[in-house]
């Protein structure tokens, strides 16, 4: 009912004071189409119509999740329901490529469902979102993932070495050379590190090698399109 009253508060100036629906929606920072939908539900079912909308959205989400679960696990007769204590997140990578219409749609999803939204993109994404104040005003925080250096890079490389069944020893000359080449080629970029090690693993298997050397790293680098280093 709290959600229904919040929606009614948006419609109240239009219903009781004669304010246009467009003006009321803009004052509450609500998309006009959303306000029109709320008004239609209110005129049909009153406050119950406003609260029932949330139930409909939740029910639809549950049905969609059930269909996905059934497609992934066709052996199950009844899809397992999503736990009520779980946290739902909408994670969007390469968000800098989203159009204005797409960003507005994401904002509408956030407003209607309350689902958490994470936008991941290249440097400059935050400045792009600043041009859309209605969406930008809803952003809780922004975090800039910096390139890996020093201990962080060593930690990640140690894990990659272990996945290859090897032990990284930065005091060893061969390993030290390989680390230096990897740091130079990737610049500490986490995603590029992953791409490079996919090729390193492939080269080790093809050539039946048991060491990650500078030559192996350079051979892996030659298969990737990563620009000048």
11-22 pLDDT per residue, tens? 888 888 888 888
Full residue range of the structural domain in which residue 173 is found = 150-222
CB atoms within 10 A of CB 136: 15
Residues 65 and 10 in one domain: yes
Q: Whole-angstrom distance between the N-terminal and C-terminal Cα of the chain?
A: 59
Q: Is residue 192 part of a domain?
A: yes
- pLDDT confidence of residue 62: 52
pLDDT of residue 52: 54
Who has greater pLDDT, 209 or 1? 209
The neighbour count for residue 211, using CB atoms within 10 Å, is: 13
Q: Are residues 164 and 208 in the same domain?
A: yes
Quote the mean pLDDT of the chain: 80
Residue 229 belongs to some domain of the structure = no
Place 54 in a pLDDT band, splitting at 50, 70 and 90: very low
Domain-embedded: residue 186:
yes
Quote the strand ranges of the chain, DSSP E: 89-92, 116-119
């Amino acid at each position: 009912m709290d959600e229904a009253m919040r929606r009614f508060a948006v419609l109240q100036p239009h219903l009781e004071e004669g304010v246009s629906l467009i003006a009321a929606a803009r004052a509450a920072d609500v998309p006009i189409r959303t306000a029109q939908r709320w008004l239609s539900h209110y005129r049909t079912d009153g406050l119950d119509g406003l609260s029932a909308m949330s139930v409909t959205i939740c029910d639809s989400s549950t049905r969609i999740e059930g269909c996905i679960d059934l497609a992934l696990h066709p052996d199950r007769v009844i899809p397992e329901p999503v736990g009520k204590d779980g946290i739902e997140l909408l994670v969007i990578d390469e968000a800098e490529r989203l159009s204005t219409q797409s960003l507005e749609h994401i904002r509408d999803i956030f407003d209607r469902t309350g689902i958490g939204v994470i936008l991941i993109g290249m440097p400059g994404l935050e400045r792009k979102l600043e041009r859309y104040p209605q969406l930008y005003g809803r952003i809780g925080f922004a975090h800039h993932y910096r390139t890996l250096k020093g201990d962080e890079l060593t930690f990640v490389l140690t894990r990659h070495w272990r996945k290859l069944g090897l032990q990284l020893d930065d005091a060893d000359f061969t390993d030290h050379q390989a680390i230096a080449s990897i740091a130079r080629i990737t610049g500490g970029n986490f995603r590029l590190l992953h791409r490079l090690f996919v090729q390193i693993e492939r080269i080790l298997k093809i050539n039946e090698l048991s060491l990650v050397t500078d030559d192996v790293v350079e051979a892996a680098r030659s298969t990737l399109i990563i620009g000048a280093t």
